[in-house]
Amino acid sequence: MKKIAALLLALVMILGCTAAMAETAEKPLAGQHLNVAMSANYKYFETIAIDENGKETYVGLDVDILAELADRLGFTYTINNMPFASLIGSLQASQADLVISGMSWTEERAKSVDFSTGYATVKVGCLVPAESEITSLEQLNGKAVACSAGTNYENMVKQIEGAELKTYDGQAAVTQELLVGRVDAAITGATACKNVCESNPGLTYFIIDTSKLKLTSRSTYNIAFPKGSENVALFDAAIEELKADGTIDAILTNWLGEDFVK
């Protein structure tokens, strides 16, 4: 009887170890806890909301994608909220394991951190008055086109044939100039366009085709990691899975609408 009990115990232990090994293979970061840096002031991507219990919680498409990645890879995580300008530094100082915060790959950033494959495409939009007949870049020829000073959008406007570049200090000033009719259109991120139009029914927007423009950054949102992180390849594979099964498209559609997954 004792031998049978011992054999049964050994079998249980073997099965348990086999199950654990299988879970590790399927979820390579199982048992790991990661510190995630985020700047939660980017509407639709990551913001702070109050839940039904009166507690602060993080919401947005980046938050939903992070949760899906955690489920696929098996890790738990803590979100650390900080200014956007501090995100890269948090990786360099080993205060964070990754950054997911509406961040795009740029040559300058890539000198300091490693990036995952893109999980969503950066869309650029053109704000116009609701009654405007402008619906394409070509129709901006001969028009006054505004953007925020010091942004990549300046370079974009300069590439639009016949467009007259007007720059202002911040999106609020750009929007005001458009509302009072001192400019004909404004170029900015499509998510900013969506936000502006929700607050200003006298404006509308369309998403522009940036393939005709020379961009100084990749047109994707990416997750940032410390230089040399072994997690990049794991996250790349998980992101591709989320793209392939439609999970990311569903999240983007929920937060931004179908135009942002075309």
- Together in a domain, 201 and 148: yes
3-state secondary structure of 155: helix
Domain for residue 249, yes or no? yes
Domain for residue 77, yes or no? yes
- Together in a domain, 116 and 239: yes
pTM: 0.78
Task: Determine what percent of the chain falls in helix, strand and coil, rounding each to the nearest 5.
Answer: 45, 25, 35
Q: What is the pLDDT of residues 188-230, one digit of tens each?
A: 999 999 999 999 999 999 998 887 777 666 678 999 999 999 9
Give me the number of domains the chain comprises: 2
Q: What is the pLDDT of residues 112-129, one digit of tens each?
A: 999 999 999 888 999 999
Q: How far apart are CA 214 and CA 238, in angstroms?
A: 30
- Together in a domain, 206 and 185: yes
- Together in a domain, 137 and 162: yes
Domain for residue 18, yes or no? no
Q: How confident is the model at residue 258 (pLDDT cuts 50, 70, 90)?
A: confident
Domain for residue 182, yes or no? yes
What is the structure's pLDDT at 214? 74
Q: What is the pLDDT of residues 13-71, one digit of tens each?
A: 554 544 444 445 689 999 999 999 999 988 899 999 998 899 999 999 999 999 999 99
Q: Residue 243: left if φ>0, alpha if ψ -120 to 50, beta else—which one?
A: alpha
Tokens describing residue 79: 């979100």
What is the structure's pLDDT at 4? 60
- Together in a domain, 77 and 153: no
| CATH number, residue 182 | 3.40.190.10
Q: How far apart are CA 29 and CA 159, in angstroms?
A: 45
Using alpha carbons, select from 152, 145, 181, 147 the residue that is nearest to residue 167. Answer: 147
Average pLDDT over the chain, rounded to an integer: 89
- Together in a domain, 34 and 62: yes
Domain that holds residue 189: 124-212
- Together in a domain, 145 and 106: no
Domain for residue 180, yes or no? yes
Domain for residue 14, yes or no? no
- Together in a domain, 110 and 50: yes
Last residue of one domain, picked from the residues 176, 194, 212: 212
Using alpha carbons, select from 54, 102, 58 the residue that is nearest to residue 80. Answer: 58
- Together in a domain, 76 and 202: no
